[in-house]
Amino acid sequence: MRQAGRSLPEYRALRERHGFFELAGTPELCAEVTLQPVRRHDVDAAVLFADIMTPVLAMGIGVDLVEGIGPMVESPIRTAADVKRLRPGEPPAETLEALRIVRAELAADRALVGFCGAPFTVACYLVEGRSSRDFLAAKELMYREPEVWHTLLGTLADAFSGYVRAQVDAGADLIQLFDSWAGILSPADYEEFAAPYSRRVLEAVPAPTVHFGTGTAGLLTQMRDAGGDVIGLDWRVALDRAWTTVGSDRGVQGNLDPAVLLAPWEQVAGATRDVLRRAGGRPGHVFNLGHGVLPQTDPDTLTRLAAFVHEQTS
């Protein structure tokens, strides 16, 4: 039976008991966690409860998510032989079933956002073996053995292309490609070592797309050229200036600093007004945080923020 009405603390307890991938891999529970922010905060879209490493599990890669650390890869990918051992992998059936459940329960006027990591960011984790400030092991492989790097990213891009298509077939209205670590690259390196593979995934999506990265103020032109109907902006760049760089033919998403939500409400409201002021009421702005919600954020503040944005933009 479908489980409904669980609180966020209960789901945190479930994650601690079962692990992220078990929770995300149980369609009924994954669907419930995906729907919960819509029910609790009255936001305009449900975002698939998944991780950027979800599709690589089907490729024969052992990954665990460790609280406070992030993805931990059992056997990092460092050689051509390692890359050859990767299996093509099928889109996770459990994730697709969760999307079908959500689409059936979600109101018609609420969007269902699918989710996929960009090949560059996923490759950084696979080579490094865990999170890092600079991903030097990944960049060393990229520079020293570019053929191995390109083969790895091509393999990931092919697998992820099938994954995003399957998400749309299962009910996702749009796909967000999440490139957490693109900002460690120079513009030239991004164009050579990352952009072709993000482009391949984005072009495979038979639906609108959001192309998001962090620390990418210097890469906005390159990200735009790689693809995406909407370009995500983090809080390190002024939204109006970034939109000028991205161009009027694209939408933008963002870009309130998640840490602002830890401040008194007056400061939250002021920072939100500033984002909306910079957007200027132009069609194509999707108000959002510049990154994920911090764990210590009061859920009531999120509810109040969603209501405030609706009020300011109605």
Looking at the annotation, which residues are catalytic?
2, 6, 15, 51, 125
- C-alpha of 10 from chain center: 24
- Token pair 């002024």 is found at 238
Rounded CA-CA distance 269/165 in Å is: 38
Annotate the chain with DSSP letters as a single string.
-------HHHHHHHHHHH-HHHHHTSHHHHHHHHHHHHHHH--SEEE----TTGGGGGGT--EEEETTTEEEESS---SHHHHHT----PPPHHHHHHHHHHHHHS-TTSEEEEEEE-HHHHHHHHHHSS--SS-HHHHHHHHH-HHHHHHHHHHHHHHHHHHHHHHHHTT-SEEEEEETTGGGS-HHHHHHHTHHHHHHHHHT-SS-EEEEESS-GGGHHHHHHH--SEEE--TTS-HHHHHHHH-TTSEEEEEE-GGGGGS-HHHHHHHHHHHHHHHTT-TTEEEEESSPPPTT--HHHHHHHHHHHHHHH-
| CB of 105 closer than 8 Å to CB of 167 | no
The size of the chain, in residues, is: 314
